[in-house]
Each structure stands twice: as structure tokens, then as C-alpha cells.
Amino acid sequence: MHLRYAWVRRLSRRRPRRSGKRKGLLGSAILGIGLALLFIWAVDLRLRPILEAAARAKVSNVVTRTLDGAISDYVAEQGLGYRDLIRMETDENGRITALVSDMAALNALRTGILGIAVEAVDSLDRAELTIPAGNLTGINLLSGKGVELPVEVVAVGTAHAEFESSLSDAGINQTRHQILLDVTVAVEILLPGSTLNTEIGAQIPVAETVIVGAVPDTVLQWGGA
């Protein structure tokens, strides 16, 4: 009996040590996890603005290129020239007094272009929208290297388009007149761990001509009959 009692006492003395050791390991594990999470948070806080800026630039470049190609092809398919959109009015001496836009034709063209713009952004190739992790370090040697971080355009919001008239010098006594379309598309970008909303704009030449002779600066009339 005495030996059995002594053995039980020895066991009871050892248990607190084992419990204390477990508590120490648990505390170390919690501390390690906390430090790891703090490190991840600090890295994310440092790299998140860089990733967002890189994503905006990447998506903007790809979307602008896509819009330019799709809209240019659409305008060419419509077979519309400068004379289909703008009418020149002259005085008795043949001097240009006004360039009058055909708003019905321009509005029809704008409606078609907006539809094409949304379709073009929706069909973006995901393979084009990746950012090498090395680009986020700011180190030139690592640029273009590392894991490819996915950047995806997950939604296309509203699209807007406005026509703009541009007059520029095209030579001696010559003026280039361009009709441009400013297209803006609102997109939502999916990044690892977050989403980003931004607007991307592109300016597309729709029609142009070279006018010989003097042209008043305020010659264009939008919406004339």
C-alpha cells in the first residue's frame, strides 16, 4: 500500500509540469501566429497601393487597346465618311462659314459604339490581365518575374461617349478637322483579396478631312439641321 501511494503521489507531482509545458507551447504558437498575421498585414499594407496602381495601369492599357481596335473596326464596317457626318456651308465667295453636324447619324454611331465598347471589355482575355509579383518590389531586376498575380475585370458598369471636334494645322493654308469620340467605361477589377472600381477612357478618331482655306475657330455647329 505504501509503495502504491508513493507512486500515485509521484504521478500527481508530474502533472503540473506537463500542463505548464503545454501552456508554454500553446502560448508560443499563439504568439507565432500573431506575429505571422502582423507580418502579413504589414506586407499587405505596404504592397496593396502598389498592386492597385499596377492593376489600374494594366487594365487601362489593355482596355484602351481593346476599345481602340474594336471601335475602329466598327466605324470602318459602317462605311461612314466625314461627309456623312458633317456638312460644309459656304458663302457666295466659297468661304466656309459653318460645319454642321448630322446629329442623327452621330447619335446612331455613338449608340453602336457604346454597345461594341461594353462587349469588347466583357470579352477580355484573362491571360492578358496578370501582374508578375516582381513588379511590386520596385526592383528593376525583378520586374516581369515571379508568380503571376491574377487581375480580372469582373463587371462592366455604365459606358459614356461624347463627340469632340478638333481643328489642327495640316500645312500651308490647310486645316485638319477631326471628329473624335471620347469613350469612358466604368469597370470593377478583381484583385487577390479585394476589388477595385475605376473608370477607363479612350479617345477614338471617327472621321477627319483636310480643309483648304481659312476656317473660323468657332465654325462647328453641333446638331444643325
- The full DSSP string for 59-98 is HHHHHHHHHHHHHHHHHHHHT--HHHHEEEEE-TTS-EEE
pLDDT at site 224: 44
**Which has more pLDDT, 101 or 32?**
101
Residue 204 has pLDDT above 70, yes or no: yes
Closest CA to 165 of 176, 174, 157, 156: 176
The verdict on residue 192 lying in a domain is yes
- Give CA–CA dist 82/105, Å, rounded: 11
> Is residue 190 in some structural domain?
yes
In a domain, 31, yes or no: no
The predicted model gives 179-195 an average pLDDT of 83
Neighbouring-strand partners of residue 210: 176
CA gap 201, 161 in Å, rounded: 9
Q: Residue 40 domain-assigned?
A: no
Torsion of CA 74, 77, 78, 82, to 10 degrees: 90
For residue 117, which of 199, 223, 208, 222 has the smallest C-alpha distance? 199
Q: Is residue 23 part of a domain?
A: no
Instruction: Give the pLDDT band (50/70/90) at residue 10.
Output: low
Could you say which DSSP state residue 92 is in?
T
Confidence of residue 43 (pLDDT cuts 50, 70, 90): low
For the residues of 16-55, what is the DSSP string, one character each?
Answer: HHHHHHHHHHHHHHHHHHHHHHHHHHHHHHHHHHHHHHHH
* Count of structural domains within the chain: 1
Lowest-confidence range among 2-6, 27-31, 83-87? 2-6
Q: Is the pLDDT of residue 173 over 60?
A: yes
**In the predicted model, is pLDDT for residue 157 greater than 80?**
no
Question: What value does the mean pLDDT take over residues 79-102?
Answer: 82
If 0-12 CB within 10 Å is exposed, 13-18 middle and 19+ buried, where does residue 172 land?
exposed
In a domain? residue 171? yes
What is this structure's pTM?
0.63
> What does the DSSP 8-state code read for residue 107?
H
Which pLDDT tens digit goes with each residue over 103-150? Answer: 888 888 888 888 888 888 877 756 566 766 666 666 665 566 666 676
Counting beta carbons within 10 angstroms of the beta carbon of residue 209, is it exposed (0 to 12), middle (13 to 18) or buried (19 or more)?
Answer: middle
Average pLDDT of 68-93? 84
* C-alpha angle 41-126-156 in degrees, rounded to nearest 5: 85
Structure confidence at residue 100 (pLDDT): 83
CA angle 222, 187, 190 (to 5 degrees): 170
141 part of a folded domain: yes
The answer to whether position 204 is within a domain reads: yes
Range of the domain at 121: 51-221
